[in-house]
């Protein structure tokens, strides 16, 4: 539900000038103090075209040998769907029409009806990032798939325990830092120029497929919606994740899969893990 909108906000760039090509790559081995076996860190893209969708043998082999699959949220939690349903709508009942002009709302209404068949009049109180999820297929113009769901399938077939680094409520609360007016205006901007959004998203996917994490981050860094919220969406979360990650690695072999934007930079997971005494080595595949 949250994939595309989260992907953009999770790939915001910080200052990475001190980190060069050694940080390119989306798949990493972690070894270090008090860890009984190597663990793995896989940077994901939360949404991708079916024809570009690949979990190669090296990734699946490492996952099958792990004790835990650790995602941003525990997607195996039986209460997950309930939690998502409880977070679909604005907390205080605000409506999209409270923030946009009649003309802007009518443009959105027509677009959503034509592209999805849904009636915006029934969705006025829906949170902006949830509305964004309605545009996934239009942004990519393809049948989309989720890397996380494929990893979940592999984990379930191997009877791995699935864990999460945060909750749905944690993720949804991030958007409370951005005024609703800004979020709805951004949603309207996407609809007004869907072709631009399509081009930008294709660039992101191409950068991901080539494992050019630095280039990918640089593209997203210019996003006006999130440039003032990098600490909230990215760096504070990386720091918060470090403690549970190190704890899990003491218990067994972990396969961490988080948005690729969390990996690079001086406040990224690779550097944070190294600062804790771990050795983090790229795996080519």
Q: Tens digit of pLDDT for each residue in 68-93?
A: 999 999 998 888 889 888 999 999 99
- Render pLDDT for 168-214 as a digit per residue (tens, 0 to 9): 899 989 889 999 999 999 999 989 998 888 888 888 888 888 888 77
Q: Where are the alpha helices (DSSP H) in 120-256?
A: 128-133, 136-140, 147-157, 168-173, 180-192, 194-209, 213-221, 230, 236-251
pLDDT value at position 222?
Answer: 59
User: What tokens does 224 get?
Assistant: 């006006």
Asked if 5 and 129 touch (Cβ cutoff 8 Å), the reply is yes
How many percent of the chain have pLDDT more than 90? 47
- Residue 51's closest CA among 141, 128, 135, 163? 141
pLDDT value at position 9?
Answer: 44
Calpha distance 79→32 (Å, rounded): 34
CA distances, 258 to each of 19, 27, 184, 198, 235 (Å) = 20, 11, 26, 23, 13
- Render pLDDT for 218-243 as a digit per residue (tens, 0 to 9): 665 556 666 677 778 888 999 999 99
- Render pLDDT for 25-41 as a digit per residue (tens, 0 to 9): 999 999 998 888 999 99
Task: Name the helix (H) or strand (E) containing 30.
Answer: strand 27-31
pLDDT value at position 19?
Answer: 41
For the chain, helix, strand, coil in percent to 5 are 55, 15, 35
**250-261 core/surface letters (b: 16 or more CB in 10 A; e: else):** eeebbbbbbbbb
Domains: count for the chain: 1
- Average pLDDT (263-275) is 90
Query: Domain limits at 56?
Result: 3-282
């Amino acid at each position: 539900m949250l994939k595309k909108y989260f992907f953009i906000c999770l790939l915001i760039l910080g200052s990475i000038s001190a980190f060069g090509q050694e940080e390119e790559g989306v798949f990493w081995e972690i070894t270090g103090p008090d860890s009984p076996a190597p663990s793995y860190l896989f940077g994901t893209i939360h949404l991708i075209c079916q024809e570009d969708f690949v979990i190669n043998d090296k990734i699946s082999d490492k996952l099958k040998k792990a004790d835990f699959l650790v995602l941003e949220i525990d997607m195996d939690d039986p209460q997950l769907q309930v939690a998502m349903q409880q977070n679909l709508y604005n907390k205080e009942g605000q409506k999209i029409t409270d923030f946009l002009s009649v003309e802007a709302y009518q443009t959105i209404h027509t677009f959503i009806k034509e592209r999805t068949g849904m009636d915006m009049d029934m969705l006025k109180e829906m949170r902006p990032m949830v509305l964004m999820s309605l545009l996934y297929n239009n942004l990519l113009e393809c049948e989309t798939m989720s890397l996380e769901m494929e990893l979940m399938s592999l984990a379930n077939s191997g009877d791995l325990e699935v864990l999460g680094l945060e909750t749905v409520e944690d993720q949804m609360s991030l958007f409370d830092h951005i005024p609703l007016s800004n979020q709805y205006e951004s949603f309207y901007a996407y609809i007004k120029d869907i072709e631009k959004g399509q081009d930008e998203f294709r660039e992101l996917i191409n950068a991901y497929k080539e494992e050019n994490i630095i280039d990918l981050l640089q593209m997203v860094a210019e996003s006006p919606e999130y440039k003032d919220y990098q600490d909230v969406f990215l760096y504070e979360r990386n720091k918060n994740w470090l403690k549970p990650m190190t704890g899990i690695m003491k218990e067994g072999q972990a396969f961490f899969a988080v948005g690729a934007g969390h990996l690079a930079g001086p406040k990224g997971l690779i550097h944070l893990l190294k600062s804790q005494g771990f050795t983090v080595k790229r795996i080519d595949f």
